């Protein structure tokens, strides 16, 4: 059964190739969407090529709602988007994928049912299809090559939906098996280096030593060090001192 998570239905209108339907299913499931509706697929349904291409998202195909015509596919929806890259003669609000999915999230939070229509691969949705939509989604593609594969268009829209309903940090640092070094860790490291550098006569002449140590400590405070980094730097200094003592 489809999940209980509020989400728009993705309606594939007269898709031509089973492979593209499978790719669309895979793209939807990548971003947590599982409500697919299929209108009059050219090669019939079910389609083994779609299953092969879905690669792990076959459940969406098994549960897909099949409709003979577009009217039947969207009859229960309160607001419908139509995706198209070509200029149309119809007067409708045109949204970017991001803005469209933001609006979809707002409408669904208010209890409305939302659908997004995707046209067949050869030429996209017809004007008769778009006339049934409340708004258009237009992807800012290269005007000299505006044709998007069905799976690609579904992927773009599904990604924007995911961004609206999931907190996505713009930057994340993977710490692996370590953790960030504490101020005490860094302070101990700096003291270790200062002591050894003092022994080596690095902070010279004596009247400049305090300002040099301030700059040295400030350098370490700017670096986002992990505990593993600190341990390695301690080890480097210890090994350098051992090497010097052996040479002496």
Residue 85 clears pLDDT 80, i.e. is over it: no
CA distance 18 to 58: 12
Residue 170 has what pLDDT?
84
**From edge to edge, which strands make up the β-sheet containing 36-39?**
65-67, 36-39, 9-13, 114-118, 79-83, 135-137, 94-95
Q: What's the pLDDT score for residue 3? A: 75
Please indicate whether residue 101 or residue 168 has the higher confidence score (pLDDT).
101
The two three-digit tokens of residue 170, written as one number: 């713009």
DSSP class per residue in 176-217 = TT--BPPHHHHHHHHHHHHHHHHHTT-S-SGGGHHHHHHHHH
The whole-number pLDDT of residue 87 equals 63
Q: Is the pLDDT of residue 1 over 70?
A: no
Confidence bin at 147 (pLDDT 50/70/90): confident
Confirm if 24 and 150 have CB atoms less than 8 A apart.
yes
Which pLDDT does position 52 carry in this prediction? 93
In this prediction, residues 51-76 reach a mean pLDDT of: 94
Confidence check: pLDDT of 140 > 90: no
Nearest 5°: the CA angle 61, 64, 67 is 130
Query: To the nearest whole number, what is the mean pLDDT of the chain?
Result: 92
Q: Which tens digit of pLDDT belongs to each residue from 19-56? A: 999 999 999 999 999 999 999 999 999 899 999 999 89
pLDDT at 231: 95
Q: What is the pTM of this model?
A: 0.77
Q: Is the pLDDT of residue 182 over 80?
A: yes
pLDDT > 80? residue 235: yes
- Which of the four pLDDT bands, split at 50, 70 and 90, describes residue 226? very high
User: Taking 90 as the threshold, does the pLDDT of residue 2 lie above it?
Assistant: no
């Amino acid at each position: 059964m489809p999940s209980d998570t509020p989400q728009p239905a993705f309606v594939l209108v007269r898709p031509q190739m089973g492979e593209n339907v499978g790719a669309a299913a895979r793209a939807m499931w990548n971003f947590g969407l599982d409500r697919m509706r299929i209108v009059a697929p050219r090669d019939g349904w079910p389609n083994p090529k779609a299953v092969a291409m879905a690669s792990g998202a076959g459940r969406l195909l098994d549960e897909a709602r099949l409709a003979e015509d577009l009217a039947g596919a969207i009859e229960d929806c309160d607001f419908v988007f139509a995706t198209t890259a070509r200029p149309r003669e119809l007067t409708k609000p045109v949204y970017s994928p991001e803005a469209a999915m933001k609006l979809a999230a707002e409408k669904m939070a208010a209890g409305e049912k939302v659908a997004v229509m995707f046209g067949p691969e050869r030429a996209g949705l017809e004007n008769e299809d778009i006339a049934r939509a409340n708004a258009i989604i237009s992807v800012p593609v290269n005007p000299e090559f505006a044709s998007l594969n069905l799976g690609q268009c579904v992927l773009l829209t599904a990604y924007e939906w995911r961004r609206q309903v999931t907190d996505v940090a713009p930057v994340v640092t993977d710490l692996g098996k370590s953790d960030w070094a504490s101020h005490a860790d860094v302070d101990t490291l700096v003291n270790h280096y200062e002591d050894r550098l003092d022994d080596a006569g690095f902070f010279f002449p004596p009247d400049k030593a305090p300002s040099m140590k301030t700059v040295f400590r400030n350098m370490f405070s700017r670096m986002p060090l992990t505990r593993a980094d600190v341990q390695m730097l301690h080890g480097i200094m210890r090994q350098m001192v051992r090497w010097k003592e052996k040479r002496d």
